[in-house]
Amino acid sequence: MSKSACRQTKRTSNPHSDRLAPSQQHHRQFCQPRTATTTATPGRPSVNLKYQQRREMLSRSQRLTRAIARQQICRRLGAAAANTALARPLSTTIPLLTTTPPPSTWTSPYPSSTDFRSDVVTSPTASMLHAISSATLLDDVFCEDPSTISLETRLASLTGHESALLVLSGTMGNQLALRALLTQPPHAVLCDERAHILEWEAGGVASLSGALVQGVVAGNGRFLTLEDVKRKVVLSDDVHACPTRVISLENTLGGSIMPLDETRRIAGWARENGILMHLDGARLWEAVIAGAGGLEEYTRCFDTVSLCFSKGLGAPIGSILLGSKEVVKRARWVRKSIGGGLRQSGVVAAAARVGVEETFLGGKLKRGQEMAKRVGEMWESKGGRLEREVETNMVWLDLEAAGVGEEEWVKAAGRRGVKVGGGRVVVHYQVTEEAVGALGEAMGEVLGRERGEGGGEGKKVGFKSYG
Ligand SMILES: Cc1ncc(COP(=O)(O)O)c(C=O)c1O
């Protein structure tokens, strides 16, 4: 092949492909400059010989690694599995062999153990790492990954829904659900005015679904009631109206529980009026652990549900979207259209599964809730006021009433090695007793000092602390 033909091959080849066309292989083999030359100094091996020796050494160590790999897989999974695993390139078989988690930050105390800013900071655990290393590595866009399918099936069964879809985040779960439920404008989604889909999802309901969001004030300050919904819902098909097609509830909302009875009242009324129901259940786990109702009792009230694995459950990534086969099929389609199609999603599914089995079903969330109660009591015992009752894992300190500025509070906690983001203190099961003690000391400092007029510095207009 001539040099110009080689250049031509280079220019027309796909830069994103890691496969080489036959002409490209020819280019690699015959047209690229060689780094090893054949010049030899008398008494010393030629460069080519050294190169060959290095390659031989490498292949010897690879052979040894393969032998060890075979032994380990045979012991754990049998000879057939060893043959299958070793049929793949060595680099893909090594992670399979992890039998004990490597020493790292994957073990307690976790980076999250002193962090009260949110439960999204929870660190993936050693057993998640272990599960990831044993996950299947097939493609989820092709719907063929066993770890992912098994997680989806498990969640569908736990929640009484027909089908499930693993997605990358809670936002993605909510947005895909709404997009899949809605058809075409004019249409509106009704929710609590503080809801995540309205306040914290970058206006996705408007941009992705073209829907109006009807925010409703909860009359009791805690959760929406059917009476609140009826005040704002639009049933009319008048040409001026934007009819409510979906009611989206959030549970927990800022740590407050949406009671099961009220959920059932709203869902029953919505059904009678042809309105679909979505649940942002990012932290539904917390409501269930607090004894508000069973997981399935809640999830059955809704056409679609999104649950998060990456908050209190501790998984690094992922949420699940639940619904009918038809809706989930549509959501899968939308997921692909926004670049959310997953390839080797088993690594995500495996950690999420541990979050469900060990953290939620294993009962670990209770500890976070007990500590949250104590944090609230500590604040009150030092003269502070709470904005809301502590129902699950969130504590709302009324900094303003205490004349304490957010920055002052954050700094007082920081000096004692704990992180807070503002008046909302989020407790999770990985927080240590020492961190709770340090938080108490910081409370003592900010509540104990003499106040001048005007109290602490307020927030800038238009900025809110994360909700
Ligand atoms: C109630 C609620 N829903 C949805 C989300 C979105 O989750 P993600 O951050 O995974 O997109 C959050 C995030 O904190 C949340 O609090």
Q: SS in 3 state form for 398-459?
A: CHHHHCCCHHHHHHHHHHCCCECCCCEEECCCCCCHHHHHHHHHHHHHHHHCCCCCCCCCCC
- Rounded to the nearest angstrom, the distance between the alpha carbon of 305 and the centre of ligand 1 is 13
| Angle in degrees, CA 456, 461, 466, rounded to 5 | 80
- Rounded to the nearest angstrom, the distance between the alpha carbon of 119 and the centre of ligand 1 is 10
Please state, in angstroms and rounded to a whole number, the distance separating the CA atoms of residues 36 and 32: 12
Q: Supply the DSSP symbol for 358.
A: I
Which residue is it, tokens 């459950």? 313
Tell me if 164 sits within 8 A of 322, measured CB to CB: yes
Top-tier CATH class for 126-360: alpha beta
Q: Which of 121, 129, 155, 157 is nearest to 356 (CA)?
A: 155
Alpha-carbon radius of gyration of the chain: 28
CATH number belonging to domain 365-448: 3.90.1150.10
- Rounded to the nearest angstrom, the distance between the alpha carbon of 283 and the centre of ligand 1 is 9
Q: Which of the listed residues 118, 119, 171, 223 should we mutate to test ligand 1's pocket, taking the one with most ligand atoms within 8 A of CB?
A: 171
Protein residue with its CA nearest to atom 4 in ligand 1: 170
Helix (H) or strand (E) holding 10: helix 3-12
Would you write out the chain's pLDDT as a tens digit for each of its 467 residues?
444 443 443 333 333 333 334 444 433 433 333 333 334 444 454 545 555 555 554 455 455 445 555 555 555 455 665 565 455 444 433 334 344 544 556 777 888 999 999 999 999 999 999 999 999 999 999 999 999 999 999 999 999 999 999 999 999 999 999 999 999 999 999 999 999 999 999 999 999 999 999 999 999 999 999 999 999 999 999 999 999 999 999 999 999 999 999 999 999 999 999 999 999 999 999 999 999 999 999 999 999 999 999 999 999 999 999 999 999 999 999 999 999 999 999 999 999 999 999 999 999 999 999 999 999 999 999 999 999 999 999 999 999 999 999 999 999 999 999 999 999 999 999 999 999 999 999 999 999 976 654 455 555 555 555 54
Please state, in angstroms and rounded to a whole number, the distance separating the CA atoms of residues 11 and 14: 8
Protein residue with its CA nearest to atom 14 in ligand 1: 120
Atom of ligand 1 nearest to the CA of 466: 14
Please state, in angstroms and rounded to a whole number, the distance separating the CA atoms of residues 207 and 182: 13
Separation in Å, CA 112 to CA 212, 354, 447: 37, 18, 25
What residues does each domain of the chain span?
1-35, 46-97, 126-360, 365-448
- Rounded to the nearest angstrom, the distance between the alpha carbon of 224 and the centre of ligand 1 is 19
For position 392, what pLDDT does the model report?
A: 98
Please state, in angstroms and rounded to a whole number, the distance separating the CA atoms of residues 177 and 323: 8
For position 305, what pLDDT does the model report?
A: 99
- How many CA within 13 A on the CB side of residue 268? 8
What are the CB-based long-range contacts (under 8 Å, 24+) for 146-151? 146/346, 147/345, 147/346, 147/349, 147/350, 147/353, 148/342, 148/345, 148/346, 148/348, 148/349, 150/349, 150/353, 151/320, 151/349, 151/352, 151/353, 151/356
For position 41, what pLDDT does the model report?
A: 46
Q: Is the CB of 248 under 6 A from ligand 1?
A: no
Q: How many CB atoms lie within 10 A of CB 117?
A: 19
- Rounded to the nearest angstrom, the distance between the alpha carbon of 171 and the centre of ligand 1 is 6
3-class DSSP assignment, residue 397: strand
For every residue of 74-129, DSSP letters joined together read: HHHH-HHHHHHHHHS-HHHHGGGG--SPPSSTTSSSPGGGGB-S-GGGPPPPHHHH
Here the tokens at position 40 are 């030899």
Q: Is the CB of 421 under 6 A from ligand 1?
A: no
Task: Provide the b/e sequence for 131-167 (b: ≥16 CB within 10 Å).
Answer: bbbbbbbbebeeeebebbbebbebbbebbebebbbbb
Please state, in angstroms and rounded to a whole number, the distance separating the CA atoms of residues 461 and 338: 33
Tell me if 303 sits within 8 A of 332, measured CB to CB: no
- Give the residue ranges of DSSP H helices in 106-233: 126-133, 146-159, 170-181, 196-199, 204-209, 226-232
Q: Is the CB of 170 under 6 A from ligand 1?
A: yes
The reply to whether 126-360 and 365-448 are identical in fold is no
Atom of ligand 1 nearest to the CA of 168: 10
For position 58, what pLDDT does the model report?
A: 44
Atom of ligand 1 nearest to the CA of 310: 10
Separation in Å, CA 378 to CA 24, 141, 373: 69, 49, 9
